[in-house]
Structure formats: C-alpha cells, structure tokens
Amino acid sequence: MTAPYYITTPIYYVNDKPHIGHAYTTIACDVLARFKRLDGYEVKFLSGTDEHGQKVAKAAADNDLDPIELCDKNSNNFRELLATLNISNDDFIRTTEQRHKSACQALWRKLSDKGHIYMGKYSGWYAVRDEAYYDEAELTQSPSGDHLAPTGAVVEWMEEETYFFDLSKWQDKLLAFYDSNPDFIGPQSRFNEVYSFVKGGLKDISISRATFSWGIPVPGETKHVMYVWIDALTNYLTALGYPTLKDDYAKFWPVCHHMVGKDIIRFHCVYWPAFLMAANLMPPKKVYAHGWWTVEGQKMSKSLGNAIDPNHMVAEYGLDQMRFFLMREVPFGNDGDFSEAAISRRINGELANELGNLAQRVLSFIAKNLDGVLPEARDLTTEDKDLLNSCHSLVVLCRESMDRQAFHEVIESIWSVVRMANVYVDMQAPWVLKKTNIRRMETVLYILVEATRHIAILMQPFTPQAMSILLDQLSVPDDDRMFTSLGEGSALKSGIKLPVPHGVFPRYIAKSEERTR
Ligand code: MSP
C-alpha cells in the first residue's frame, strides 16, 4: 500500500497582490509534494485563498467593490500564480465556498456542544493587518504615538461582546502534546518559542466579531461572524471533506503537514491544535515555519513599493532558476535576502557553470564523437566506482534532509555529486582519451551519463521543467523517472541513441550588463 502524505500552504489573504513571500511558501510545498510523489507516496497538496475578515472587507471598501468582487478578482491572481510557478497542487480552496462554510459551522457547533464556547465581553488590542489580538505587554509605541504589535502592525483598542473559546483550559494538554511530539514544530527554535509562549499561560480568545459582517455567520446568530482565523485554519479540514469524516480524512489527516511563515506560527501551533483537541480531533502531524525574505536588504512594504512580483521574477530569471534560488540560497527556516547579485550568482555559478555545463559537455561530446550512441562501460576503475557509488547513495541522504525540510541540504548533497562529476571529467579528460584510449573514453562517458541521470532524477522537485528536458536528452523513459529507478537496476542501456542535446540552463545576463555590451 502506498503511504499517504498531506501538505498544505497557508491560504493567502486576498487584500494583497502575490509577492515573493507567497511564492516562497508555495514553492517549498511544491518541492516537498513532488519529492514525496517521486518517492512513491500518495500526495494530497492543498493551497488556496483566505477571503473573510476585516482586512479584506476594508480593502474592498477602499476600492469601492463588494467584498466578493474583490475576492473573485484577487483569488484568481493567486490561482494563476500557481500555474505560473508550475505548482502541482491537487486542490485550491477559497474560504467563500459553500463547502468551507459548512465545515466551519460544523466545527463551531462541535466546539459549542462540548461547552468550549461562551459569550463574553472582549476588551483589548487588535491589529487588523495581522487579524490578531495582542497583550498590552507585547506592544511598543511608534514615534507618532501609535501602539504597535511586535510585527510592526498598528493595533487598536476594541471593546465588544464576542464569543470566546476557552483556550486557557488547554495549556496543560498543549504542553503534554508538545512533550510527546517533539517533532511537531520545526525548526527547533520555533518549537522552543511556542513552548515558552504556552508555558507563560494562555488566555481565552475572542472568536467572533459583530462590528462587520464579512465572514461566516456563527450558527444560530444574526449579529456575529466567525473570527477569521478559526475560519481560515478550518480550510485544512474542509479540503478533506469535513464534517463527513470519510476516506480522505482517515487517510490524510494523520499525516498532515502545514508549511507556514514564522509570523503565523502561534495560530497554527497553539490555537489550531487546541481547537482540534477540543473538537475531539487529532492535531496536525507537523508545522514547519520558514523565515522571511527581504529585498536588497530592506523589508518589503507597500510604502517602499519594493515587493517583488513573482511573475516578473519568472519573466526575468526563468521559472526553474527562481525556484532553485529560493530553495538554495538560505537554510530553510532562516531569513533570506533577495538581490539581483545573489540570484545571478546562483544561476551562473551553479546552474549554468556546474550542472548545465556538465550535461552539455558530456552529451555534446557523445553527439559529436559517437554519433549520439551511448557507449559501453568496461573494466571500471576506483574513480568510476566512487562516482557511481556516490550517485547510488544520494537518495538516502536527500530523503533524510527532506524529512527535516532542509531543502538547502538536499541540494547541497546533490551538488556534491555535480562537483565530483565535474572534477571527474577534468581528471579523466575524455577529449585526450579520444586520441589515446577509445575504450576508456567510452567508459568515462557512460559513467558521466549515469551520474547525470541520477542528478536529473533527484533535481526534478526543484527544477521540474529543466530536468524533464534533460531526462529526455538522456532518453530516460517517463516511467523510469521515479526514485525507484535510481541505482544500478534501471541504469541506461548502452547502444541507445541519445537525441541532439541543447543547454538547459543558459547564463543570466543582467539588464544592466546587457546595456553596457
Ligand atoms: N491568511 C493568512 C494565513 C492563513 S493559513 C490558515 C496569512 N496570509 S498572508 O497572505 O498574509 O501570508 C501568507 C504567507 O506568506 C505566510 O506564511 C507568510 O509568512 C508568508 N509571507 C509573507 N511575507 C513574506 C516574506 N517577506 N517572506 C517570506 N514569507 C512571507 O497570513
């Protein structure tokens, strides 16, 4: 039986245009989903848009639109972005869909029936930008006198009658859950952060709003809509058919993995497991929080107008080049800085010079000197065996790093073989062997093709389009591109004809350089 795997992106607020930060989470999930599929898992991969709440209502009003008009338009931007980024999601959820409304109301009823919801009066600080409540102790003051949340969002004092969830009762159960599931939150630093937050004590949270109506109505209520986060988090269950707990729920919920940015960890690691436990459901298996991107050293902001549009990035650098850069540049979990210098270094230094050049050198040499026919490998030397052994053991290393969401380590392991293969070409010098020892030249070329095959199969999750072209150039049949085809068992047969090769990773020439040429 194939093992299931469920991976989710956060659902994106539709008040904003997609930027590099949204692309980052989504690409990371796509890499995981593709890796797991290639490794034989049955994957369900969910993304979507978060369409209710005060922030979206305000954005619609600012644009003289009905909220749903704004949602339809902007949700589509995110859906299109997924296509542009070659994302392999199986479902796209919108929180304004009927299936979601039913799921949220069912969850609410369950919490209410079990006595976890009560009516009370809320007074405290709320940040519309974050759609989050903050404690007074967490706030700072801006030079203009505004109160600011730790995220920099302006908070306002709110007083209203709302429904509450009895979060304070869940402190011990949450701590016990973290203790018995030390891998629940990654990386470790975020685990510690959440743990000490919960240890510090929890207050009941307000989960409804009556001052605006753009939300899912609280069942049996005319005035209150649900707090946007209880609505948003439930999307992960809606997509599995909740409240009818059928096959998808039984199969995928126990292996659910949420990928989120570091700013929304409290919602996913504290509120969400508490809601679920209160409804007698299992918390998700894992939440991984990644870092944030700045641009040329600066925080992205509307006022600076420096948010990077992923569509422009794709047009400028190429899709696979951008995907590679985002997964390669910083250890996943840390913050990163996007700059033109950094991405062109990665494209030219690694994709073009190291991987692209390796493949092109080997394949064009075979095309020119052997009429494109894959030669035979005979009498392997220690160097040949070393390179092949490194290829054969690569998947184990990659799997281990991928299970810790250490994307940069996966690429680093693959790259150690790319570099090893480049050293091997230089040392074996097939262009010299061509004049001195054809038999040996053939062996060297065969070994290099096998090394390239391993690299291309393992790089598919990161740079799927380029690797599909490269695997075509290696004449690897579609059915032999899964990880089960790594190793000697599915090695290419000598005597096959390889198509005429062409480079897969061109060098990037910056616009500024182009002008000075
Ligand atoms: N709607 C909520 C999520 C609900 S999930 C049940 C939300 N949406 S968001 O559109 O504001 O953010 C979506 C994701 O983008 C978050 O994971 C956030 O961390 C990520 N990023 C936003 N800006 C970012 C960067 N500058 N860098 C990296 N990721 C960033 O929060």
Q: Which CATH architecture has domain 4-291?
A: 3-Layer(aba) Sandwich (3.40)
Give strand ranges (E) for 203-351.
205-206, 208-209, 225-226, 256-261, 286-290, 293-295, 336-338
The predicted-structure confidence for 493-504, as pLDDT tens digits, reads as follows 999 999 999 999
Give me the residues paired with residue 497 across strands.
373
User: Which residues in 17-67 belong to E strands, given as ranges?
Assistant: 42-50
336-381 pLDDT, tens per residue? 999 999 999 999 999 999 999 999 999 999 999 999 999 999 999 9
**Alpha-carbon separation of residue 350 from 31, 60, 328, 413, 480 (angstroms):** 19, 44, 10, 13, 26
In this structure, the chain runs to a length of: 517
With cut-offs at 50, 70 and 90, classify the pLDDT of residue 513: low
Cα of 297 from ligand 1 centre, angstroms: 19
> Which residue from 14, 26, 263 has its CB within 8 A of the most atoms of ligand 1, so it is best to mutate?
263
Measured in Å, residue 16 CA sits from the centre of ligand 1 at: 10
- Choose the residue to mutate in 22, 259, 275, 338 for probing ligand 1, maximizing ligand atoms within 8 Å of C-beta: 22
Atom of ligand 1 nearest to the CA of 260: 17
Out of 12, 298, 306, give the residue to mutate to test ligand 1, the one with the largest number of ligand atoms within 8 Å of its CB.
12
CB atoms within 10 A of CB 504: 21
Minimal-distance CA residue to ligand 1 atom 29: 21
Bin 216: left if φ > 0, else alpha if -120 < ψ < 50, else beta. Answer: beta
* Cβ–ligand 1 contact at 292 (below 6 Å): yes
Which atom from ligand 1 is nearest to the alpha carbon of 236? 6
Cβ atoms of 293 and 335 within 8 Å: the answer is yes
10 Cβ inside 6 Å of ligand 1: yes
CB atoms near residue 220 (< 10 Å): 10
Does ligand 1 lie within 6 Å of residue 13's CB atom? Answer: yes
CB 209 within 8 A of CB 128: no
Q: What is the pLDDT of residue 514?
A: 63
Q: What is the pLDDT of residue 434?
A: 97
Residue 25 reports pLDDT greater than 90: yes
Strands, E assignment, 316-430: 336-338
Please work out whether the CB of residue 293 comes within 6 Å of at least one atom of ligand 1. yes
Whether the CB of 78 sits within 6 Å of ligand 1: no
* pLDDT tens digits along 441-478: 999 999 999 999 999 999 999 999 999 999 999 999 99
Gap between the Cα atoms of 330 and 332, Å rounded: 6
CA–centroid distance, 60 to ligand 1, in Å, is 20
State how far the Cα of 205 lies from the Cα of 167, in Å rounded to an integer: 6
Give the Cα separation of 447 and 453 in Å (integer).
10
Q: What is the pLDDT of residues 316-344, one digit of tens each?
A: 999 999 999 999 999 999 999 999 999 99
8 lines ligand 1 (CB under 6 A): no
Distance CA 47, CA 437 (A): 56
Question: What count of other Cβ atoms lies within 10 Å of the Cβ of residue 63?
Answer: 12
Residue ranges per structural domain of the chain: 4-291, 320-330+339-490
Supply the residue whose CA is at minimum distance from atom 30 of ligand 1.
21
**Amino acid (one-letter) located at 384:** D
Distance CA 159, CA 137 (A): 18
- Find out whether 507 and 348 touch, Cβ atoms under 8 Å: yes
Closest CA to ligand 1's atom 25? 21
Q: What is the mean pLDDT of residues 213-231?
A: 96
pLDDT (tens digit per residue) in 62-95: 999 999 999 999 999 999 999 999 999 999 999 9
CB-based contacts of 508: which residues, under 8 Å, 6+ apart?
Answer: 317, 318, 321, 343, 344, 347, 348, 352
Q: Are 441 and 456 a contacting pair, CB within 8 Å?
A: no
Is the C-beta atom of 12 inside 6 A of ligand 1?
A: yes
* Residue whose tokens read 């969830």: 165
Task: Give 256-292 pLDDT, tens digit per residue.
Answer: 999 999 999 999 999 999 999 999 999 999 999 999 9
Mind giving me the DSSP string for 315-345? Answer: HHH-HHHHHHHHHHSS-BTB-EEE-HHHHHH
pLDDT in tens, 154-188: 999 999 999 999 999 999 999 999 999 999 999 99
Q: Tell me if the domain spanning 320-330+339-490 has CATH number 2.40.160.50.
A: no
The rounded Å distance from CA 21 to ligand 1 centre is 7
pLDDT at 305: 82
Q: What is the mean pLDDT of the chain?
A: 95
Percent of the chain at pLDDT exceeding 70 = 99
Phi, psi for 164 (deg, rounded to 5)? -120, 150
